[in-house]
Each structure stands twice: as C-alpha cells, then as structure tokens.
Amino acid sequence: MIINKERKFLFIEIPLTGSWAVRNELCTYYGGIPILHKHANYYEAKKLIGNSLSDYFIFATVRNPLDVMVSEYFKLKTDHKQAFSSQDSAKKLLVDYFDYKKFEYIQNKELGFDNYFMRYKKRIYSSLVDIGSNKFNYVMRFEHLQDDYKELLSKLDFIPMRIVPVTNTTKGRDKNWEKYYTSELIQKAKIICGPFMEKWGYKFPSDWGEHKITTIDRYKFNLLIYVKAFYSTNFRYKNDNISLFIRKIRSKIFN
C-alpha cells in the first residue's frame, strides 16, 4: 500500500494487476511511501489512518479474473522469483501458507492448468479489489493500464514523467489466456467468475455462449467479500500463533 500524506492519495495494491509497476512509479516520481504491507486492504488502512481517510483519493487496479487465474497458475508452476523455494518455513507462512501448499502440490503432481483449475477453483471468485471498493475514487484496468495511469496522474494533478514500465511479468504462459480454457473449464469459469465480471464490466468471450448470473451467485459473491475482508484484515498477514493456525487450517480445508 502506497500513501502520500501531502497530496492525499492512497494506492491499494491488488495482486497480479500490474500494481508492482505502479507502486514503483508512485514512490520514485510522485512522493509515494509504502505503509503497512504490500497487499493491505482498505479496512487495514482505515484502522491506521482513521476518519481522515475520507480526505484521500483512493485508487487501485483490476484485471480480468480469467487472465488472473492463468498467471496465478504459472507463477506457482515456475516458482516465480523463487517466491517459495528460497524462503524458510516462517517466511512462507507470511507469504501465504495456502499458496505454498498449492505450489508443493503442483510441483509434486506436475499439474497442468486444467487440473489446477478444477482442483482449486471451486468457489465464486472475488479479489482484494472488492474489499472496500465502494470507497475507491478510481480503478485502473490492467488491460489498458497505460491510458488509465495517465488519466490517474491527471486526476492527481501530476505531470506524467514516463509510461509505466513492464515489470514482474509471468514466465511460461501465453499472453492469450483463452487458449487455456477447455470446454469443461469454460462452463465452470462462467459460474465462478460471473458475479465478479458483472461487477467490474468484463465480458466472457463471445464464443463461450450465454451465461445467466443467478441471485444466489450474487449473494455468494457478496458474502465471500465480507469473509475475505475479515480474514485478510485479521489473519492473512500476521505472524501470531492464532493467525498461523488459521492459515494452516484454511490450507488443509481447501487443498
């Protein structure tokens, strides 16, 4: 999370949406300072800053979840930046014990994307960007990040210094995420990603056919946001015994 207290802006970093590149630009050229931890959510910022947070221009990034899940898989498969294999157990727990167990399983079973998707994508999809999103002033889209970033700087009354460099790219994957979705995966993807894509204005590929989002799916989606907000605010990034225990239990339930 990046803040500038003088210019009153707060950047909430969403995983796998180009946030690392934006973070670097804000800190290098526009007086941004890291606070809390990289993927802190809105409510963590609210606890820290208090009611004055309403004076800040809050922004984040969003990305098509169908693309996100492909990158998520390949980061685990390729041990992106040795995020798992080079850290000791305690640090792995802080990164995400659940993701570490997924990494182990993928490596041991040599899972392809289709097997990974069918095993781990069982719930309605939501993202960190959903937490407190009604308080955001602006959300940039990964799909046209350069244009949105330029518009962001205009809103903040900054002069653009340069375009956002491409950093932290995922190795081993094709840029065309559609090729990874078989007919079996497509049917499941429409169910679990439908509410998120509806909320953020994304569309399924036209050749995937129609999909009707049910009231129950929308309810599950909104409920999951509340659960995720509570979990990420209170347990996800803490190193006390209770938080470590809850992360291990979560891993056993969903692995």
pLDDT at 32 over 80: yes
Classify residue 124 as left (phi > 0), alpha (psi -120 to 50) or beta: beta
User: What is the average per-residue pLDDT within 229-240?
Assistant: 83
Amino acid occupying residue 23: R
Q: How much is the pTM?
A: 0.85
Helix runs in the chain, H state only: 19-29, 42-49, 65-77, 89-109, 113-120, 145-155, 183-200, 215-234, 241-254
> For residue range 156-175, what is the model confidence (pLDDT) as tens digits?
999 888 888 876 677 777 88
CA dist list (Å): 230 to 131, 227, 233, 237? 10, 5, 5, 12
DSSP string across 82-132: GTTTTS-HHHHHHHHHHHHHHHHHHHHHT--HHHHHHHH--S----GGGTT
Fold of 2-254: Rossmann fold (3.40.50)
Residue 101 tokens, joined: 């167990």
* Higher-pLDDT residue of 92, 99: 99
For the chain, give every domain's residue range: 2-254
